[in-house]
Structure formats: C-alpha cells, structure tokens
Amino acid sequence: MADTLAISLTGPLADEVRAAAEARGLSPEDYVRQQLAWDIALGDEEAEDALGVEEDIAAYEDFERTGIGIPGEEVEAWLRSLTTDNPLPRPRPRKLK
C-alpha cells in the first residue's frame, strides 16, 4: 500500500478548487487536504455545514479586501423575479466600497 494518493482534477472543478484555495491563501493541494480532513473528521453532514460557514467567512473577507460584491436587495429582487414571466438578469458583482 502506497504512502501517498494522487488525484487529478480537470475542468471547472479544478478551477473552483484553485479559486477557493487562493481566496484562503492556500495552495490547491493544501486546500484539498484541509477539506478532506474536515470531511473525515466531522462526517459528511457536519462537514457540509462547516464548509458553508467557511465559504461565508472567505467571501466576507474577500469583500472586505476588494470591496466587490452584489447588494442583497438586488439578489432578492432577482430571486423573486425567477418565478415570474419576466425574470431579471442575474445581478453582477461590482465595486461597492
């Protein structure tokens, strides 16, 4: 049995891992190791809950650093419009502060 395990990611998943790792100041490899450790330590359901909070914190830190975001009112209006005959276009991030 080998001491290491290599996994190759391609396409959108690889891009998402790179972006998530960069947002947290980690290498993609360290990010994946961290996420797997959380998943194994907490179990599937608890890991998903913890990941959501972690993503929220990273998103807020990113907003604080860049000032780029989408106002909540625009997101709410867009979501409400999705059940109508005239849905609004998806709001785009922009510099807010």
User: What local confidence, expressed as pLDDT, does residue 51 receive?
Assistant: 62
57 plus 25 within the same structural domain: yes
14 plus 41 within the same structural domain: yes
State the burial class of residue 28 (Cβ atoms within 10 Å of its Cβ: 0-12, 13-18, 19+): middle
pTM of the model: 0.45
47 plus 31 within the same structural domain: yes
26 plus 37 within the same structural domain: yes
Q: Residue 23 corresponds to which tokens in the numbers above? A: 């947002």
Residue 92 lies in a domain: yes
38 plus 18 within the same structural domain: yes
Binned average pLDDT, 10 residues per bin, the chain of 97 residues: 80 91 90 84 63 81 91 93 92 91
Residue 5 lies in a domain: no
51 plus 72 within the same structural domain: no
User: What local confidence, expressed as pLDDT, does residue 50 receive?
Assistant: 62
Distance of CA 21 to the CA centre of its chain: 10
User: What local confidence, expressed as pLDDT, does residue 24 receive?
Assistant: 87
Listed in sequence order, the residues at least 6 apart from 28 whose beta carbon sits closer than 8 Å to its beta carbon are 14, 17, 18, 21
Please count the other Cβ atoms lying within 10 Å of the Cβ belonging to residue 69.
19
57 plus 79 within the same structural domain: no
User: What local confidence, expressed as pLDDT, does residue 86 receive?
Assistant: 92
Residue 71 lies in a domain: yes
Residue 1 lies in a domain: no
20 plus 61 within the same structural domain: yes
User: What local confidence, expressed as pLDDT, does residue 55 receive?
Assistant: 82
Number of domain units in the chain: 2
Residue 58 lies in a domain: yes
